[in-house]
Amino acid sequence: MELEEMKQGWNAMSKRVEKQEILNQQIIEKMTQDQYQSNLKKIALPEFIGTIICYLGATYLSVNVPKLEEPLIQYFGVISIALLLILPIISLQSVRAMRKINLSSHTYLETIQIFGKQKIRFQKLQKLNVSLGLFLMVIGVPVLLAIKGISLDPTPLFWMLYFPIGIMFFLGFSYWTLKSYNKALKATEKMFTEVNE
């Protein structure tokens, strides 16, 4: 297939497409009214639910952590609260950045560049989010057990075995997850470089 044939194919398709009627007046009106919520501005349900869960968790810990006696667990508790407050902010930041884009004032190249930068930033934030989330899992468990009154002292295996295994699992999983994020990040950076060539 030669390029000229491609162009002929494109023209033939254009003629057929132009003959068809896709939208009528009513559908166009609906699309311009409130019945349609822009996909680009929509905060996905998982992000919204995740934020609520994190803030409920932070509230729960804020009420209970001051009651804990052991300084190390208290320290873990404070870090957990901070993480629960920070994680949703990181997630929602990319959505907020998306809202600022004006799709009619930028050229196609400028939009690709903005998109590329946002995607790279988003992927970096996701990496940070995953690492912090996993870290939260590790330090949150002793805090929750302490709040529930389950003492870890008579369980020597916890600090000797379970906790180190948890840390190793955390490091392994982080490595695996971050590797896949790095792959995605490299693909975006490659696309970005190609476009700017």
Partner 1 sequence: MDIKENFANVIKANEGLIYKITMLYTDNKQDRKDLYQEIVYQLWKSFGSFSEQSKLSTWMYRVALNTAIFHLKQSKKRPDTIPFELEMDKLTDESDKAEEERIKLLYEHIQKLNLLEKGIILLFLEGKSHEEISEIVGISISNVGTKISRIKEKLKSQIKKNTDYGT
Which residues sit at the interface with partner 1, rule CB under 8 A?
Answer: 1-3, 5-10, 12-14, 16-18, 20-23, 25, 27-32, 35-40, 42, 44, 98, 101-104, 106-112, 115, 118-119, 122, 191, 194-195
DSSP codes of every residue in 86-123: HHHHHHHHHHHHHHT--TTTS-HHHHHHHHHHHHHHHH
For residue 165, the minimal CB distance to partner 1 (Å) is: 34
For residue 14, the minimal CB distance to partner 1 (Å) is: 6
For residue 170, the minimal CB distance to partner 1 (Å) is: 27
Q: Is the dihedral of CA 88, 91, 92, 97 positive or negative?
A: positive
Nearer to partner 1, 80 or 123 (CB): 123
Rg of the chain taking only CA atoms, in angstroms: 25
For residue 99, the minimal CB distance to partner 1 (Å) is: 11
For residue 47, the minimal CB distance to partner 1 (Å) is: 9
Pick from 180, 167, 49, 191: nearest CA to 117: 191
Nearer to partner 1, 20 or 175 (CB): 20
d(CA 28, CA 30): 5
For residue 102, the minimal CB distance to partner 1 (Å) is: 8
Nearer to partner 1, 37 or 148 (CB): 37
d(CA 40, CA 101): 10
Quote the Cα angle for 106-108-114, to 5°: 65
Nearer to partner 1, 103 or 148 (CB): 103
Residue 140 and residue 77 in contact, taking contact as beta carbons nearer than 8 Å? no
Nearer to partner 1, 39 or 154 (CB): 39
Nearer to partner 1, 76 or 122 (CB): 122
